[in-house]
Structure 1
Amino acid sequence: MTLPTIAVHLDHTERCEVRTLLAARLARRHSSHLVGIVTTGIEGIPAPMPAHAELEGCIAGASLHLRRRAETVAHVFRCRIAEPTLASFDTRLVDGEPVGAVIGLGRASDLVVVGQADECAVVDHAVRQLPEEVMLQAGRPVLIVPRAGRFDGALDRVLVAWDGSREAAISVHHALPLLRKAAKVTLISFLREGDASAERALCPGEMNNWLLRHGVQADIEKVETSWRFSDALLDSAAALESDLLVMGGYGHARMRERMLGGVTRDLLARATVPVLIAH
C-alpha cells in the first residue's frame, strides 16, 4: 500500500502554509503526486433582471474578487512547492464552498490533508465542519493539521490508538505507508479496570503479528485508566513525544457522539499533533 496521490485543502488563512509544507514533505517522502484544492466561494447565482444592473455589477465585482483571491492562493501554493523541488503537483480551482470540493476531489486521492477546525475563527459553520465532513464522506483517510504549532518533522514518532473497532482497523490499514517509514510506532489501548469484554476485543498480540507481517515493528501498550480516553490519549502522545496520532473516527452514530462528548469529537477539537483518522 502506497500514497500515489495526496490532496491538500488550500485557503487564504495563515495556517495554509503549515498545511502545505507538511503535505509537500509527505509527498516527497512517498513519491506522491500532490494536488492543491482551492475553492473560490462563488456559488451559482441566477443573473439579475435587466432592471437591476447595479446589483449585477456588485455581484460581478464580488465574484471577481473571490476568483482573484483563489488564484492568488493557488499561485502561492505553486511557489511554496517549487522551492523544495517537488516534481509532481498541480492545483484544482473549483467554484463553490470547500466541503463539497474537498470531498469530491479527495475521493480521487489516497490521503486528504485539511486543517483543524477553529471554533473561534471568523468562518461559516460549513468551513468549521470541513474536517469532520471530509472524514465521514470522502471514503479516504484524512490528515488533520492542528490550528497552532509548526510541524517540520517527518512524522517519525507515531502513536496508534487501538480499541479493536472497525474504525480503528480501517485507520491503521490506511496508515501503513506512514507506519512503515516511521522511526517509532506505539500501539496503545486504554481500558477501564475490570472491563474484560473490552480487553478480549483488543487482541494486541494478533495486531502486533499483523503489523510485523506488513513490515512495522511496534511497541504494544495496554493502559488501565480512570481518565477520559481522549485525555489519556493526548497525555500519552505528549509523554511519548509523538508527532502523529492515528485513530478511528466515530465508533457510535455521530449524534450520539455529540451528546456523549465522544472521543472522536474531543480529539478533533483538542489535538495538538497531526491526526490521521478514517471512518
Structure 2
Amino acid sequence: MTDLALSPRAADERQPVSSGGYLDIAVHLDGTPEDDLRLAHAETLTARCGARLTGLFTNLLPDPALYAGEFGTAAIGQLTDGAIQEGNVTELRLLQRLARLGSPHELRRIEAVPYVLERAVATEARWNDLLVATCPRLDESMRWRPMIEGVMFEGGRSLYLVPPEVEPRAAIRTVLIGWADTRPSARAVAEALPLIAQAAQVHIVTVKEEAHGRMGGAEALADITAHLVRHGVDATATVLDSAGSPGECLLEEADRISADLIVAGAYGRSRFREWVLGGVTEELLSGAPVPLLVAH
C-alpha cells in the first residue's frame, strides 16, 4: 500500500467549497417493502442538501409479447386491468407516505410495459441530480436491474444505490473513492462532489496494475487528489496492491476505513465482459455493504 502526500503548494490552493449541491433528488418506488428503505435514504439526502424530492412510482404492466392468440389477448387485458388497479392502491399509499415529508416533493407514476418503462425512468432521471434505487442483488431487486442500467447508460445522471436492509447513517463521514483513469470515474467523482464535500474523511484509492505504468497509477491519483483539494476537500490517496481482484480490494478497504459511501465509475468495459468475466462494477453491486454512488 502506497500513500501519496500533497505538496504544500497544492494544500495552499484549497478553496472554500461552493454552496451548490443537489437540488433535485429522485427515488425509485415500486410498492414493495423496499420503498421504506429507499425513502429513508432519500429523505436523509434531501435533508442534507435542502433538495426537492420526486418519487418515481414504477408500475410494470404485463408484456404483450408473452401472450399470443385469442385467449392470450383476453388474458393480457385482464392482467393489465389488474396491474392498473393495484397501482391505484399503491399510488394512494405512497401519496400518504410522501405527505409526511418535511421537504418539497411530488409523486410521478410511470406505468408501462418492460423496455418502455426503463426508457421512461431514464428520461425522468435526466432532470434530477441523483436517483436513489436499490442495489440489484440476486434477489427480488434483480428485476429492476434493466431499469438501473438504463439510467446508468442513458439517463446521464448518477445513481445512489442502497444495499438491501442497510439503513441510512446519520452522516456521511467517510467516503471511499475507487479511482481509475477512465471517463466513468471522472463522472462519478463530479456527480458525488456535494456528498464528498460534506465528509470528514475522503480516501481516494486505485488498485495497482501493471498496465498503469511504473508508478502503478500514482500519477493519476496525485492529479485527482489535487483537484479535490482545490474544491476544498481534504483527501488522502493510496495505491492498493492487487493481491485479489480490484473489486475485492476496494471492498476490503471500505471495510478497513469504515466507509459510509463508496464512489466509483461503473462499467469501464462492456457490460457483457463484466457479466461473463467479472469486473469491479459487478463485485461492488453484489458485495458493497454501504451505499454506492456510481456513474458511467
Indicate whether the TM-score tops 0.5. Answer: yes
What's 2:14 paired with?
A: none
TM-score (norm 1): 0.86
CA RMSD of superposed structures (Å)? 2.9
Match of 1:150 among 156, 164, 167: 167
What's 1:48 paired with?
A: none
Provide the rounded CA distance (Å) in 1 between the counterparts of 2:79 and 2:271: 37
Mind listing any 5+ residue stretches in structure 2 that lack a counterpart? 1-19, 65-71
How many residues are matched? 271
State yes or no: 1:115 paired with 2:134: yes
What's 2:247 paired with?
A: 230
Deviation at residue 252 of structure 1 after TM alignment: 0.9
Contact 1:19 1:114 survives alignment (8 Å): yes
Tell me: CA distance 1:53–1:197, structure 2 relative to 1, closer, same or farther (3 Å): closer
Higher RCO (CA-CA < 8 Å; seq separation 6+)? 2
Q: Any idea what the Cα deviations from partners look like across 1:11-63, whole Å, max 9, x if unmatched?
A: 22222111111111111111111100002223697xxxxxx998698357514
SS of residue paired to 1:147: coil
Deviation at residue 165 of structure 1 after TM alignment: 1.6
Residue identity opposite 1:243 in structure 2:
D
Provide the rounded CA distance (Å) in 1 between the counterparts of 2:31 and 2:292: 22
Match of 2:148 among 112, 125, 131: 131
Deviation at residue 104 of structure 1 after TM alignment: 1.4
- 1:123-272 equivalences in 2 (<5 Å): 126-192=143-209, 196=213, 199-200=216-217, 202-272=219-289
Provide the rounded CA distance (Å) in 2 between the counterparts of 1:200 and 1:188: 10
State yes or no: 1:6 paired with 2:25: yes
State yes or no: 1:42 paired with 2:61: yes
Tell me: CA distance 1:217–1:58, structure 2 relative to 1, closer, same or farther (3 Å): same
TM-score (norm 2): 0.81
Q: Identity of counterpart residues, as a percentage?
A: 29
More displaced 10-residue stretch of structure 1: 29-38 or 13-22: 13-22
Residue identity opposite 1:275 in structure 2:
L
Q: Any idea what the Cα deviations from partners look like across 1:207-250, whole Å, max 9, x if unmatched?
A: 22110111111111112131111111111111111010000011
Contact 1:193 1:225 survives alignment (8 Å): no
Provide the rounded CA distance (Å) in 1 between the counterparts of 2:136 and 2:247: 17
Contact 2:28 2:55 survives alignment (8 Å): yes
Tell me: CA distance 1:126–1:213, structure 2 relative to 1, closer, same or farther (3 Å): same
SS of residue paired to 1:233: helix
What's 1:89 paired with?
A: 105
Provide the rounded CA distance (Å) in 1 between the counterparts of 2:276 and 2:77: 46
